[in-house]
Structure 1
Amino acid sequence: MSSSRSSDSRSTRAALKVLARYLGPQWALVTLLLVLLLSSIGLQLLTPQILASYIDVAREQGALATLQRFAFTYIVLGLLVQLFSAGATYVGANVGWTATNRLRADLMRHLLKLDMSYHKERTPGEMIERVDGDVTALSNFFSQFSVRVFGAALLLLGSLVMFWREDVRVGAIVTVFACFTLFALLRARRVGVEPSKKEREASAELYGFIEERLTGLDDVRALGGGAHALRGFLGVQKNFFWKAYRAWIARSVVWQLSFLMFAIGYVGILGLAVGFYAAGTITLGTAYLYYTYMTLIEDPIDQLTQQLQELQKAGAGLIRIGEVFGLSTELREGAREVPSGATEVAFRDVSFAYGDTPVLKDVDFTLRAGRTLGLLGRTGSGKTTLTRLVSRLYDPTAGSVTLSGIDTRDLSLESLREHVAVVTQDVQLFQASIRDNLTLFDDRLPDERVAAALEEVGLGDWLASQADGLDSALASGSLSAGEAQLLAFARVLLRDPGLVILDEPSSRLDPATEARLTKAMERLLLHRTAIVIAHRLDTVARADDILVLGDGEIVEFGPREALACRPSSRYSQLLRAASQGRADFEEVLS
């Protein structure tokens, strides 16, 4: 019970905190929403009085003009109630979705600032579920919770006041009933918070599993692992099903209890109305008022019941979102900016380890501004880790990495990421227009500049062949591997960074496409510093410097031409092996 109370308290505090943070800036719309709600509720409480008077006048065979006036007034008030209710719903949805989208953006921004140690432990699918799934589960909480819950509370209070106004005894009885019902529902609500949280966690695990298997679909098919992948999917799907089922059962306690309580309530209020009418103490119209105001009590409590179920889901989601916001990156934020232009890169006695596994050991070198470094080494030698330290996905365990003489730990992360561009072997393309794929959905860049970037990397003719130009949709699989790499180069040109990191851009291309890519790469690296991870010598044939890594240590470093002329150097050995028809890096560098 104490655990349930603790979870319930956490979800309530989280809900109130998020409401204040994301609804506060929209105070003008929230005020309008309050006015619409008060107007709608006031009219809902007034219309039964009109109809009760109509019933009493009709029973006493009153004047037709009086009945017509009551009928006309009732219709007008009914239309106004609908108008105000529709307005409140619209404004509430607008406020809610604005808040939801702000929350999603803040969550995404926070995740992007976390270091790679966090992202390595979680699948992209789980991240998508956190940013989209958990926040989408809050959409109803934001868009309808304030309207329905606040409105329901006001309507409930107003209905009780009307009961007290009609008869103090009935008012007291109904007030006790309403308070007991609300207390019982609030107690029952706590049952669903923890199961709902486990349901969201199971959902994240499911989507993470799906994303991983879809990413490796080609390998799964090639290795005949379809049956194994399907068994794994059925396992996580079964886990999600049962946790969702248990969460639904726990949440259903609320509405089942509500149904039972109001069955008792209706029997009681109808019994009182019939008894008082038979005794001649109330009119038929007043008896109708008893029943109608009971429905006006049922409606808000029913709304509260539904929204409390949503609050259970929202509470679980808010706790999970709060856990993400509570994560702090190990990469402290610096304040200095990266100087513009080509960047000097220096490693000073840098060591790095993933946990207890050393990857880089006492790496020390300087790459002067405007020069291109060819980075060679066996698989697992630390090449990729070295570039990740440059782009500050990690900080070194010991030593320092500097850009233009400034320690990366003293640099603003935003400035560093804008100044350093990374092109990987796998280019990520979006189901969007060519323009959006190049600008990454930044509409501030003019079309002329985007088209010029494509022309510069050799995709001018390709762009001209597109029916809608930059607005043409980039369908999945419509680009070859070479064209995708050229598109990635155009992205870099649009950013105009001072340092470019290329992770073997030509490893999977045919010779003709590779030659085309090499020309584009020359234009891309002009007047910029570059680090090129290579698995083929042709990739670094025009590099200024060569750095060979072995088991996390520098085997050799120097100007490419000088190393090529030194017979004992590893680079020279690679060149001789290539001339003899042997191009196995692993063998020569071992």
Structure 2
Amino acid sequence: MKRDGQVRDVIGNTIKEKKLLSGAIVCTVLGAVLVSLVPPLILAQIVDRLTAGKDVTAVLMLLYFGMLALTGLLESVREGLLIVFGQKITHALRSRLMKKFGRLTTDNVNRQEPGTLVSRFVGDVDTVEKLFTSGIISMFADACRIVSILVVIWFRNRGLSLILLLLLPVLFLFTRQIQKRMLAAQIENRRAVGRASAYVPETLHNIRTIHCLKKETYMEEKYDQYIGVSYQAMERTNFYDAVYSPVILILNAVVVAVVMLLSASGNGKILTLFGMSAGTAVAVLSYISQIFRPVESLGMEIQTIQSAIAGIHRINEFFALEEKKEHPKSTGVRATKEVPFVEFRDVTFGYEEHVVLEHMSFKVMDGEQATLSGRTGAGKSTILKLLLGLYEPLEGDVLIHGVPAVQIGEEERRRLFGYVEQSFHMVPGTVRDQITLFDERITESQIRKAAELTGLQDAIEGLEHGYDTICTPELFSQGQWQLLSIARATAAGPSLLLLDEITANLDADTEKTVLQALNRAAQNRTVISISHRTSAKMGKIIAL
């Protein structure tokens, strides 16, 4: 199982690839912090000159406002760079997630709830982006600002710096406790949102059954239950966030009051630590606001970071899922008269602890047609999945012309076999795209030949834009969709057709039309089919 897709690796690789951008962010962060220290010092000089009855020069005033403008400019540039960097992280993460999804085992793909999967690709990735745009970088900037202000205050008012040094560890412990509780609430909220998101498409998929059984109220209550868990988690998060900011504001006011009282006490020993000029007092008040403002903003940043950590945790869970094993690719599947086209050699297979096939063996020769027959759950569809290489047998061999099915390469698959399911699965795009599945190797003549073979040519050419008509569910009847499925399976000219109950959902007249198309498609091809209907059974019977 590969673990090279961890979030930290994606972020690290993005930082390495965007060194110039990363360096610019660091420079603007540090520049904004250092420049923001200057205006209070200039203001202190201005106030001291005024209280001493001296004139304030225009240069000093312009320097003060210039430093304020430069601070704002650097912070604006920093925000812009962070947005660009966050988008780079988002793109890299979503690309890696899709790459991982394509490498998952069939079991893991089937276990993914659509809503939970979508929430990972959208919501969780967005929280990671916010980790940089308004989270960890902002916390780094705030930490630098706090440290630099403490250094300046140490030379201006040592008593205040001592008070702040005693107070900051308490604030850190308080912040840490808030952090832990918010993380737990964020993770619980993410899970609840994933369940709720998965519930909506599931409800839509079964809406007819729900209406028939009058289960609308039950569905509403179930959805409310999932949403309720999410709301409770968010309420806890909002409570901790609401508690954090007032505590910081109160501490800010208390520190200012204490310092002002001590500086005006008249006691020589106290004034040694807290005494200061009017200008220094103005600067110190400004610095106190600056040091508590970033501490207060940590509350919002902590919430963002905890949400991102919860998202990273869920993304890493996805990255940790088992991937398909890498098998040596075959050098090419070549038909020979001596070797069976399809052979199951003492195959045993099961899902988890449930064994479906046990010591199964059979052969299908080149050009032969065979029908798998057996009770529901006997493993007929599983045999087709093994032939498609979606699963690997626990024991034995699944061979196509002597080559293990799992070793057949991507380039060979579509020209080797075509697969027709019980119902048609439409992809976004035109009628042509439904047939080709965006395979550029399939020519226009092959597309038209496949449509003619299934009897759909006239129906397609009768559409307003012919093969370029955008597909919608209402475009064809159920039987025509199944014919289109056969056209898709035969377009690349495969030598093996795998048919899985393709007439199970059709009426008698439509079934007759589909079977006629199927008989034309089966000419000069090896066919393995599954069917419970006698009329749809082809060739020899393989009993399970």
TM-score (norm 2): 0.80
1:313-345 Cα shifts (integer Å, max 9, x gaps)? 22233233333333325x532122362677932
Query: Contact 1:338/1:415 (CA < 8 Å) preserved in 2?
Result: no
Please tell me whether residue 260 in structure 1 is matched to residue 271 in structure 2.
no
1:457-504 Cα shifts (integer Å, max 9, x gaps)? 24686478456984x654454443345445555655677766553323
How far did 1:451 drift? 9.4
Amino acid of the structure 2 residue aligned with 1:249 = R
Aligned pair partner of 1:398 in 395, 406, 410: 395
Distance in 1 (alpha carbons) for counterparts of 2:257 and 2:174: 22
Query: Contact 2:446/2:491 (CA < 8 Å) preserved in 1?
Result: no
Please tell me whether residue 72 in structure 1 is matched to residue 30 in structure 2.
no
Amino acid of the structure 2 residue aligned with 1:272 = V
> Superposition pairs for residues 159-558 of structure 1, below 5 Å?
159-242=149-232, 244-245=233-234, 248-249=235-236, 252-253=239-240, 256-273=243-260, 275-276=262-263, 281-329=275-323, 332-337=325-330, 339=332, 344-369=341-366, 373-410=370-407, 422-429=419-426, 445=440, 449=443, 453=447, 456-457=450-451, 458=456, 462=460, 465-466=463-464, 470=468, 474-475=471-472, 477-485=474-482, 488=485, 492=489, 499-509=496-506, 530-536=527-533, 539=536, 545-549=539-543, 553=544
Please tell me whether residue 38 in structure 1 is matched to residue 35 in structure 2.
no
How far did 1:452 drift? 6.5
2:425 is paired with a residue of what secondary structure? coil
Query: Contact 1:454/1:460 (CA < 8 Å) preserved in 2?
Result: no
2:276 is paired with a residue of what secondary structure? coil
Q: Which residue in 1 is equivalent to 2:3?
A: none
Query: Contact 1:182/1:301 (CA < 8 Å) preserved in 2?
Result: no
Compared CA separation, residues 265 and 532, structure 1 to 2 (3 A): same
Please tell me whether residue 20 in structure 1 is matched to residue 12 in structure 2.
yes
Compared CA separation, residues 449 and 410, structure 1 to 2 (3 A): closer
1:13-39 Cα shifts (integer Å, max 9, x gaps)? x88666435544433321221122222
1:348 is paired with a residue of what secondary structure? strand
Compared CA separation, residues 494 and 456, structure 1 to 2 (3 A): closer
TM-score (norm 1): 0.75
Query: Contact 1:181/1:258 (CA < 8 Å) preserved in 2?
Result: no
1:423-449 Cα shifts (integer Å, max 9, x gaps)? 423333356666776776x6x949x95
Query: Contact 1:375/1:383 (CA < 8 Å) preserved in 2?
Result: yes
Distance in 2 (alpha carbons) for counterparts of 1:496 and 1:57: 92
How far did 1:515 drift? 6.9
* Seq. identity, %: 23
Query: Contact 1:351/1:399 (CA < 8 Å) preserved in 2?
Result: yes
Aligned pair partner of 1:134 in 124, 138, 147: 124
Please tell me whether residue 106 in structure 1 is matched to residue 96 in structure 2.
yes
Compared CA separation, residues 477 and 381, structure 1 to 2 (3 A): same
How far did 1:386 drift? 0.9
Please tell me whether residue 50 in structure 1 is matched to residue 47 in structure 2.
no
Distance in 2 (alpha carbons) for counterparts of 1:83 and 1:459: 64
Distance in 2 (alpha carbons) for counterparts of 1:438 and 1:301: 60
Distance in 1 (alpha carbons) for counterparts of 2:462 and 2:62: 67
Query: Contact 1:392/1:408 (CA < 8 Å) preserved in 2?
Result: yes
Query: Contact 2:415/2:494 (CA < 8 Å) preserved in 1?
Result: yes
Distance in 2 (alpha carbons) for counterparts of 1:421 and 1:47: 74
Compared CA separation, residues 138 and 489, structure 1 to 2 (3 A): farther
Query: Contact 1:340/1:498 (CA < 8 Å) preserved in 2?
Result: no
2:18 is paired with a residue of what secondary structure? helix
Query: Contact 2:450/2:491 (CA < 8 Å) preserved in 1?
Result: no
Query: Contact 1:193/1:315 (CA < 8 Å) preserved in 2?
Result: yes
Distance in 2 (alpha carbons) for counterparts of 1:283 and 1:417: 84
Query: Contact 1:504/1:533 (CA < 8 Å) preserved in 2?
Result: yes
1:205-232 Cα shifts (integer Å, max 9, x gaps)? 2223333222222222234333443343
1:339 is paired with a residue of what secondary structure? coil
Query: Contact 2:449/2:491 (CA < 8 Å) preserved in 1?
Result: no
Distance in 1 (alpha carbons) for counterparts of 2:162 and 2:492: 71
1:425 is paired with a residue of what secondary structure? coil
Query: Contact 1:349/1:362 (CA < 8 Å) preserved in 2?
Result: yes
1:550-579 Cα shifts (integer Å, max 9, x gaps)? xxx2xxxxxxxxxxxxxxxxxxxxxxxxxx
Amino acid of the structure 2 residue aligned with 1:26 = K
How far did 1:268 drift? 1.4
For structure 1, the 5+ residue unaligned runs are 1-13, 554-590
Amino acid of the structure 1 residue aligned with 2:377 = G
Distance in 2 (alpha carbons) for counterparts of 1:136 and 1:439: 34
Amino acid of the structure 1 residue aligned with 2:477 = S
Amino acid of the structure 2 residue aligned with 1:332 = K
Deviates more, 1:141-150 or 1:413-422: 413-422
- Number of aligned residue pairs: 524
Please tell me whether residue 94 in structure 1 is matched to residue 84 in structure 2.
yes
